[in-house]
Structure 1
Amino acid sequence: MNCNGKILNLFQVVLVIFFLNCAAFPDPVTSKERKTHSFGKEKVRIVFIGFYRYEQEKKMILERLSTAGITEDPNSSSEVEVILQKKEPVYKYLFLHRLNFLLTFLSGGMVPSHIRTEQTLTFRYSKLGVVEGESTYQIGMDQWRGIPVVIFMITQWPNRIYKEQLIDATELEIKEI
């Protein structure tokens, strides 16, 4: 095997280590009420927006809503839009963030890198096309990637944390209904 082949194999190992070792630490789910809504436990049309990659999460939210007494009816004049939006994270020290990413890559994952993930989950209520209420929940987490985070991976896997945050936001919304 020549030198280029060894470098390519080393590069592949570094990439696998870098992308498989990831742990997430969630922020508390926070809410921002825009309008109060007067929906009771009635039949509504439920529309999911922004869930094209999150089918499991969509099903879990739908289950929670039906458990709370909201019945789905595609012909209803009342509508609940469940909107998932990704927000661009704001890093306080962008230069340090980029330097951290570079150090992680060059160290083969020995120096963990930090990635911030932020989303909003909005429940918008309308009747006959008129918006009657809207609640927005802020969801965020800090993700760390690299070899030292292997210890935290089992309990802090990002997908699991994200699902828990979506369920927490849904539970907060159900309490308001």
Structure 2
Amino acid sequence: MTFNHKILSLFHSVFIAFFLNCAAFSDTVISKERKFQSIGKEKVRIVFTGFYRYEQEKNTIAEIFLKEGIVEDPDSNLELEVILQKKEPVYKYLFIHRLNFIITLLSGGFVPSHIRTEKTLTFRYSKLGAVEKESVYDIGMDQWRGIPVVIFMITHWPNKIYKEQLIEATKLEIKEI
């Protein structure tokens, strides 16, 4: 085996370790709320912002609204804007995070690497352009990538965890209406 083949084999191992073996562990969904007036379950115009890569999650949220009796009416004066925003993760020890990534790369994925993902889901209610109520939910998870996380992949797949968190935040919001 030549040196080029060895390097190619190493990169192949790292690719598999990083992109195919990933498990996520969710945080508790936390709510921050600004409430000016109470909003009832009435006909609303629903606008989704920030879901351009999350069509399936957007449809799931829309289905939850429908099941809970929130009727979508494009001509309504009441607007519900559902906003999904990515937050930059804050690592308590950034040096250790970077060192962990390098060690994972050099070990070919045998040492798992840690990645933090954070987003906010905002429900903003407005009537004739004036904000009536706004609820913000913090959604976060810790992802581990590497060969040892294969055991957790089936039950802790990041997309599944993320979707569950969005559903939980939506159901918490509906309880507040």
Give the TM-score band, short-chain normalised. Answer: over 0.9
Q: Does 1:119 align with 2:125?
A: no
The residue aligned with 1:80 is 80
Consecutive unaligned residues in structure 1, runs of 5 or more? none
- The CA deviation at 1:7 is 1.6
Q: What secondary structure, in the 3-state scheme, does the structure 2 residue paired with 1:118 have? A: strand
Q: Please give the TM-score of this superposition, normalised by the length of structure 1.
A: 0.96
Instruction: Indicate conservation of the 8 Å contact 1:37/1:125, yes or no.
Output: no
* Contact 2:10-2:108 within 8 A present in 1 as well: no
Residues 100-135 of structure 1 deviation map (CA, whole Å, 9 limit, x = unaligned): 000001000010000011010000000011100000
CA RMSD of aligned residues (A): 1.1
- Which contiguous aligned blocks of 4+ residues in structure 1 show a shift greater than 4 angstroms? none
TM-score of the superposed pair, with normalisation by structure 2: 0.96
Q: 1:40: how far off?
A: 1.1
CA distance, structure 1, for counterparts of residue 32 and residue 74 of structure 2: 28
| 2:113 maps to 1:147 | no
SS in 2 for 1:76: coil
Question: In structure 1, the residue corresponding to 2:110 is in which secondary structure?
Answer: coil
Q: What letter is aligned with 1:67?
A: K
What is the SS of the residue equivalent to 1:74?
coil
Give per-residue Cα distances to partners, 1:48-70, cap 9 Å, x unaligned: 00000000000000000111111
Amino acid at match of 2:3: C
> Could you tell me which amino acid in structure 2 is paired with residue 15 of structure 1?
F
Aligned residue for 1:164, secondary structure, equals helix
Check conservation: 1:79, 1:127, Cα contact below 8 A: yes
3-state secondary structure, aligned to 1:135: strand
Q: CA deviation at 1:6?
A: 3.3
Distance between the aligned counterparts of 2:36 and 2:16, measured in 1? Answer: 48
1:1-177 matches, within 5 Å, as 2-177=2-177
Deviation at 1:37, TM superposition (A): 3.8
> Match of 1:42, SS?
coil
Q: Which amino acid aligns with 2:43?
A: K
Secondary structure of 2:44's counterpart equals strand
List per-residue Cα deviations over 1:70-100 (Å, max 9, x = no partner).
Answer: 1111111110000000000100000000000
Give the match's secondary structure for 1:133. strand
Counterpart Cα distance in 1 of 2:27 and 2:108: 28
- Deviation at residue 18 of structure 1 after TM alignment: 2.0
Q: In the alignment, is the contact (CA less than 8 A) between 1:29 and 1:140 conserved in 2?
A: yes
Uncovered stretches (5+) of structure 2, i.e. residues with no partner: none
